[in-house]
Amino acid sequence: MESNHSNRTLASFYLGHARRSRLLMAHLLQVLLDTRNLEIPYTPALEKLLISAAFHHDLGKLAVPQYLLQKPGKLTAEEFEIVKSHTWLGEKLAGIYLHGSPEEQEVLRIVCRHHHERWDGKGYPDGLSGQEIPYPARLMAVVDVYDALTHERPYKPAYDSADARRILEAGTGTQFDPVVVQTFLGLINHDINRNLIPKGKTG
């Protein structure tokens, strides 16, 4: 069956995700700061780096075959291994693609490589767990999954925000840093009704 997305370029398909991730990261940082839950010292420069990294977190997907990223069905184990490589490919591309400061490149490398790690150590590429996972990547994991859940992908429909919230809640302490995900859930419960963050259902 032909994918609904067959006429869309990889760049345009992921641009929306990148933009929404940037917006969600900005909101998450603000609420972590407001609730005194931010684990690292806040500076405006750090905020700028994290928001920029959120936009570029899937940079490595530019180096993964497009047909795999747009495959409508389930990936084979071999195909999934190739898709997983977007993490370390992004880390490598970060230094080439982004002519930023050393700090900017470092945060981007961390976010690209580790945004699919899981709190319980069952993620990839390195199987890091808990606070071994660099903090920027723990923030990115929550933002990334929420946006992926609430928007259509070639292999799945968009979930509504209530279902997405339930899935994030279920991932507390297994997939996600408990403090980060609970703070994020508080944010979306509050802000989604005020149209401050995307509701989903669009590409």
Q: Is the Cβ–Cβ distance between 110 and 134 less than 8 Å?
A: yes
Q: Is the Cβ–Cβ distance between 117 and 141 less than 8 Å?
A: yes
C-beta of 30 vs 97, nearer to Fe ion: 97
Q: Which residues contact 97 (CB under 8 A, 6 or more apart)?
A: 56, 59
Number of residues counted as binding Fe ion (CB under 5 A):
1
Query: Minimal distance in Å, beta carbon 116 to Fe ion?
Result: 6
Query: Minimal distance in Å, beta carbon 103 to Fe ion?
Result: 22
C-beta of 58 vs 104, nearer to Fe ion: 58
Query: Minimal distance in Å, beta carbon 203 to Fe ion?
Result: 17
In terms of residues, how long is the chain? 203
C-beta of 58 vs 147, nearer to Fe ion: 58
Query: Minimal distance in Å, beta carbon 14 to Fe ion?
Result: 10
Query: Minimal distance in Å, beta carbon 85 to Fe ion?
Result: 11
Which residue spans within the chain are E strands per DSSP?
Answer: none
Q: Which of 58, 117, 147, 177 binds Fe ion (CB under 5 A)?
A: 58
C-beta of 90 vs 198, nearer to Fe ion: 90
Burial of 12 by CB count in 10 Å (0-12 exposed, 13-18 middle, 19+ buried)? exposed
Query: Minimal distance in Å, beta carbon 54 to Fe ion?
Result: 11
> Considering only 17-25, 54-62, 156-164, 172-180, which stretch makes contact with Fe ion by CB under 5 A?
54-62
Question: How many other CB atoms sit within 10 Å of the CB of residue 2?
Answer: 7
Q: Torsion angle, CA of 134/56/172/77, rounded to 10 degrees? A: -100
C-beta of 14 vs 135, nearer to Fe ion: 14
**Per CB under 5 A, 177 contacts Fe ion:** no
Q: Which residue is nearest to Fe ion (CB)?
A: 58
∠ CA 117-152-82, nearest 5°, is 45
Both structure tokens of 147: 């946006």
**How far apart, in whole angstroms, are the C-alpha atoms of residue 83 and residue 158?**
21
> Considering only 9-17, 50-58, 93-101, 168-176, which stretch makes contact with Fe ion by CB under 5 A?
50-58
Q: Contact residues for Fe ion (CB under 5 A)?
A: 58
